[in-house]
Structure 1
């Protein structure tokens, strides 16, 4: 009897993947009947490294967890640290933090829209969206000095103030993106090809979204009214009364698919524009750091025993940083990071079952995954499946390094 199903591996290296992960699909014809997702190809040990440094060094390390969310992890980091240390950022710093976070949300959402268009072969739309995204990156560079990894946040505030020239440039960008977003809505939501390729694809019901603990736009597209800025408001968000954006409030119905996620992200760009405009219109006067002297800040950390959790609604969903300071050193004794991709990747299995092979890139991209964000630890097994202990792995790694050095003729 002929075999009725076939195995198709996607990744860890594949044109549709920007980072390494493996999706193993079993198909009948073009229909996916079984799927397994394997992670663990991008483990970097960042949490371990962060607990070997002082808190300021670890803050800048947290910015390297994810390039696209390079403000989201520092934001959760400083919020958690401030709770553990019992300090509060000045009001002006809180508003500046909110402005930078929402600027990043706009550039991240536009990036996602371009990636989704690319995955379905709509590359002219990819280039057009990314051309529009450049204005946000230029603005972030003007304010912070860099297009990515801004080094803007600090425990107890921010490192740089907003100047009048910055505020003028922000207002110009707001005007530009109101018009640009209207154009994107017209193209993405009205194009029959885009709708045909996303409606019913990567679909999650509200009940399944709750069961899988998905977060961010993926959860809101399924009709869940969850948003950290709404549920546990912080900094300027507490003054703004942010409401989670869900499809039923926009079009009156929920499918929980790729098209609904597009709806959510487009309307969240407009929400971000409103938030930024509110912040610059109501920007408080005053200082931008609770403890301007970094030596004094590290001394306070060294003398403090406490723990705290920082939560921020990143463009992909909630980011959580847990801290514990034990009063013996100037860095965290415990640092634990949970990023949204760790939750959202769980939706790939149900979303792919019953889908077609051509839908795999769209389903993978619809959650806007970050592989480096979601890896927790590396587990090494021998040929029999037994987990190897740390000491043995370290010994073998040293032996391999020495062997390679000898082969290359390296003396030191």
Structure 2
């Protein structure tokens, strides 16, 4: 006889096509949450993922990541019909894995994250097969993101299909976890009924943070270093960043500054070409590296920078992983976004300007560069304190574990 879930480890299947181990470059949120829930709440998580993202390749996987059970899906191509087919292929593989899993090895609950909705629906199907609760983590708002960021029309077949899927998974979930702090109203409206919600924002395992140290420019007297670390895609608005940097390089009164772009994505080649075309001499591109190395490079920076598109999508707030990595590094953040929920502004942790406004971004960067090292250090400390208080992933893991146990208890 199987003992009740309250007296044994809670067994969770976490379905996320693009989940990767903590040792890999990229978004490691779920690997960290799984570890923390295991350490703190006796939750055993199996992460069901694909074998790579189009910018987090399969070779980046850690063979020691025993929480992962990858399904055989090719590395995802860039946006287009092949990307959609890749998502469908992943969903089919997840369902097949569920059907082939003996019931004695079934989880107590299935949690599906929504980097895309096909994986979420597959998670629901597996939960139904196992006859266990289904939990949904809403990361990106689909299909709103397709309409607002990629310009698809409301009548596009993919948008129409995703609208049906979105409503279905919201209504089917026993609990909906929200990454975006202001998205609850959207979820309730689309679902058309009351949905149990729990906010689980992105954040940082603060116990793993190194000492912030002193920026290299302060110790060596070198140029002010501005660093971006993250994806190089359309939503990241790095073209705006380079437009602003063009203004700075052409300003005869600008201080000595450098811009380092760390990461990868389908826009990287276009961005390199733009730098070459404009003859920008203080911009460098670097390959993606695991999180510990990213943190070391942030320690060398004077300013960390992040840009967004000008989109109504961010009316629900923002909660990107890398923003909290930035703030936790105790460096001032230069942010370009239009949102009512702006962590940098709330923390007094840097400078905020409107999105897709190169002139405003250039002025903000120049203002931060002209600020004394002591003032930049103060802004950085403010950001780090904010992350410790509001975005410690240990606290997020505790909340998630509690909600999952509650869902299982309700049956």
- Range of TM-score over shorter length: under 0.3
TM-score (norm 1): 0.25
Q: Which structure has more RCO (C-alpha within 8 Å, separation ≥ 6)?
A: 1
TM-score (norm 2): 0.25
Structure showing the higher helix proportion among its residues: 1
